Amino acid sequence: MDRYEPLKIEEKWQKIWEETEAFSAKEIDGMPKMMLAEMFPYPSGAGLHVGHVRNFTIVDVLTRFYRQQGLNVLRPFGYDTFGLPAENYAIKTGTAPQEITKVNIDNFRKQAKKLGFAIDWSREVNTSDPEYYKWTQWCFLQLYKKGLAYQKESYQWWCPEDQTVLANEQVENGKCWRCGHEVEKKKMKQWFFKITEYADELLDEIDNLEWPEKIKTMQKNWIGRSAGAEIDFKADNGKNITVFTTRPDTIKGATFIVLAPEYQGLDFIVTDDCKDAVMKYKADALKKSEVERQENKEKTGVFTGSYAVNPATKEKIPIWVADYVLAGYGTGAIMAVPAMDDRDREFAEKFDLPIVETELVDRDLYGTPKVTYKMRDWLISRQRYWGCPIPIAYDKEGNPHPIPEDQLPVIIPEVEDYQPDNSGRSALAKAKDWLKVTIDGEEMTRETDTLDGYACSSWYLWRYASPHDNKAAWDSEAIKYWEPVDYYVGADHAVAHLLYIRFWCKFFADQGYLPFREPIKRLLYNGYINAPDGKKMSKSKGNVIDPLDVINDGYGADTLRTYEMFIGPYDMDAAWDPRSVGGVYRFLNRCYNLLGDIKEVDNIIIRNKTIKKVTEDIHKYNFNTAVAALMEYVNELYKVGASSEDLVTLAKLLKPFAPHLASEMLEKLDADDEWPKWDEKYLVSDTVTVVVQINGKLRAKLEVSADDLEDEKKIMDMVLSDRKVQKYTEDGIKKQIFVKKAKLVNLVV
């Protein structure tokens, strides 16, 4: 029997799969389908990292699992290529983003193939390919036609370093998420998508999604629907200040009013003697992100010098400015009821303002019923060269006009200098000939802003259905067959991207272009792979693990894939452990070596138990315990001997995790890869319930066989791999106690 040589075996099967187009998917009437995709990556020059490998391997395990079960499976791939990294590299080196993007994509593709992913490469998409962004521009025009793409002037975050506008979620602690430079607020005319038009449906449908609860909660909080009322308070200057409150019944307890620093009518409210202090406070507040303002425990504010009349008590109450009130939420003005609201109480206590207990009044008695949202319309303008050009041009009066659809795509022009200037326009403004365009016989000037990259990733899942269609963004029949996506896997973009893709789905369904209103059936949100010391991997720290280093060290792709599934529950962060990588390699080596010692034995019971365990674990996304079950199965086979049927079963169950080795084993055993089925009659055994207590509190119950109860190590292994137990033991276990007679495990943490 020859020895296990992973690199040789992997090269062989990767060549076979490529030559036979093994993973090419086509619509087949009447055949059940399964479509799976990961959140597509940005192809950086650094290439794939082990975090990508975990993300992609989850998709691949499910892809191969369902293929082996006879489903028609589509697993496409693509690249999210627009954005600042390529543009900054171009500014620094003079290399066109188009060139560096091609190099990076070629590298990513090469690495993904080396990992043995079951990808239909004929469906590859790239957001910076004109044949792709032509349809991103078409999508923009559909939204524009319906009034959901519009311009307005407003304060926006501006990064002086990157010379571009940033969305709220791209500002972290007052700094740009990309370059770390301090940001500022700038009043600019920008393009927006009216996502708020779909706020209610986006919120109401969340509970029906088969998504992780934490992601659903984050989306609910981001939308932030509040039902209440708008109430007018008459100010000293005779004008009304309209406040929004969710508790109009507490109006008698309102002892002051608080305005957001950006409140539009602020200049007319501030008295002359308070103006300097208010304007300075406003300028300071504009430097903070909204998240920072909301989370700041130290309440700050300044008095405007003016008062307003509480319509319920007829008393004059002071008007203050404070940054814990946001201009975009409600009206940008609140009535402060410190006896009923913690934030108002903190503010009142700091500035010695009245706090009065209040009787509640009838909610419809004051004000007009109103529903408001935390979510804002989606700011989509970016002052970047390397982005999808917005298909708009302006006439001599500055009025916007859509570029006719037959003139799409608006191609990104070549320029010599990619550096934006202080004019607020992107480097596209330097392409003088490109700026001129004729529409309906009139010469106009093109828009020089480009679209936020999230626009390009809001529809790519539908492009996968017909990536080479030059007549439509997606083919309606192909969409009907393949989508919505059955599994979507990622570790980032918990809010923005997922909300945007849902918004576009609902919009295009309303236009008759999509036969469904939710784009993703099931979402899996995986944890990160951290450095061995538990810290986040980063190039600056020099602690990044390169997957190709692991492969080329002799371990091979199968070891890397299997290790990343075995490292822990897929949705929890895990630290890289080089010793465990070696352990997984030895396990795969033992699988292969069993081929050299086939015996005539009958292991029907353990075989059926393993089939059931692995199958159910994969269905539950417990990939780590599925691998553990395979390891246990191999241990048993070494004890009692392995028949050819045992090894065929092993190879079939192993294939989603280690496809190269499994394919080699199945070839040597002259067997197909159809997923095995278990027979319940071989699974009948006495079971007992083991109770698990942590610090004396009941935390889990495990069903185990009576035979397993005799093996303390086995019981403890099962307990420690249980996800409920892991949740309560993250900080370590001080003591383990197993009381066999009482069927009890007690852990002290």
Put the strands of the sheet holding 72-74 in their side by side order: 72-74, 33-38, 485-490, 520-525
Are residues 696 and 672 in contact, defined by beta-carbon separation less than 8 angstroms?
A: no
Which residues make beta-bridge pairs with 34?
73
* Structure token digits, residue 309: 């009349």
| pLDDT, tens digit, 9 for 90 and up, residues 248-263 | 999 999 999 999 999 9
The predicted structure's pLDDT at residue 616: 96
Q: Does the pLDDT value for residue 170 go beyond 80?
A: no
* Structure token digits, residue 91: 């500014």
The predicted structure's pLDDT at residue 347: 95
Q: Does the pLDDT value for residue 48 go beyond 90?
A: no
Per-residue confidence band for 685, with pLDDT thresholds at 50, 70 and 90:
low
Q: Which residues contact 277 (CB under 8 A, 6 or more apart)?
A: 302
The predicted structure's pLDDT at residue 614: 98
Write down the residue that tokens 């608006």 correspond to. Answer: 410
Q: Does the pLDDT value for residue 566 go beyond 70?
A: yes
Complete DSSP assignment for 427-468: GGGG-HHHHEEEETTEEEEE---EE-HHHHTTSHHHHTTSTT
Q: Which residues of 558-593 are buried (b: 16+ CB within 10 A; e: fewer)?
A: bbbbbbbbbbbbbeeebebeeeebeebbebbeebbe
Per-residue confidence band for 334, with pLDDT thresholds at 50, 70 and 90:
very high
Q: Does the pLDDT value for residue 291 go beyond 70?
A: no
Are residues 734 and 748 in contact, defined by beta-carbon separation less than 8 angstroms?
A: yes
Nearest to 73 by CA among 123, 108, 112, 110: 123
CATH annotation of 226-372: 3.90.740.10
The predicted structure's pLDDT at residue 604: 93
Cα 218 to chain centroid, rounded: 11
Rounded to whole angstroms, the Cα distance separating 294 from 283 reads 17
Residue 177 carries which DSSP code? T
Instruction: Region of 493 please: left (phi>0), alpha (psi -120 to 50) or beta.
Output: left
The predicted structure's pLDDT at residue 169: 65
**What are the backbone dihedrals phi and psi of residue 640, each rounded to the nearest 5 degrees, phi first?**
-110, -5
| pLDDT, tens digit, 9 for 90 and up, residues 337-347 | 999 999 999 99
Q: What's the mean pLDDT in 723-735?
A: 88
The predicted structure's pLDDT at residue 329: 83
User: Rounded to the nearest 5 degrees, what angle is found at the Cα of 104, between the Cα atoms of 99 and 105?
Assistant: 100
Q: What's the mean pLDDT in 659-687?
A: 92
Rounded to whole angstroms, the Cα distance separating 127 from 462 reads 13
Rounded to whole angstroms, the Cα distance separating 747 from 749 reads 6
| pLDDT, tens digit, 9 for 90 and up, residues 446-493 | 999 999 999 999 999 999 999 999 999 999 999 999 999 999 999 888
The predicted structure's pLDDT at residue 405: 97
Are residues 54 and 537 in contact, defined by beta-carbon separation less than 8 angstroms?
A: no
The predicted structure's pLDDT at residue 322: 96
For residue 681, what are the CA distances in angstroms to 607, 685, 687? 12, 10, 15
Residues for the chain: how many in total?
749
For residue 77, what are the CA distances in angstroms to 349, 456, 704? 57, 15, 41
| pLDDT, tens digit, 9 for 90 and up, residues 377-388 | 999 999 899 999
Per-residue confidence band for 180, with pLDDT thresholds at 50, 70 and 90:
confident
Nearest to 110 by CA among 180, 179, 11: 11
The predicted structure's pLDDT at residue 363: 78
Q: What's the mean pLDDT in 709-737?
A: 88
pTM: predicted TM-score of the whole model, two decimal places: 0.84
The predicted structure's pLDDT at residue 453: 93
| pLDDT, tens digit, 9 for 90 and up, residues 217-249 | 999 989 999 999 999 999 998 899 999 999 999
Kindly report the CATH class assigned to 687-748: alpha beta
Which residues make beta-bridge pairs with 446?
393
The predicted structure's pLDDT at residue 489: 97
Greater model confidence, 154 or 633: 633
Greater model confidence, 221 or 168: 221
- In a 3-state reduction of DSSP, which class is residue 610? helix
Residue 182 carries which DSSP code? B
**First and final CA of the chain: distance in angstroms?**
48
Weakest-pLDDT range from 159-173, 556-570, 731-745: 159-173
**Domain locations along the chain:** 136-194+378-453, 226-372, 687-748
Torsion of the alpha carbons at 301, 305, 311 and 314, rounded to the nearest 10: 120
Share of the chain above pLDDT 70, in %: 99
Averaged confidence pLDDT in the chain: 93
* Structure token digits, residue 326: 């946001």
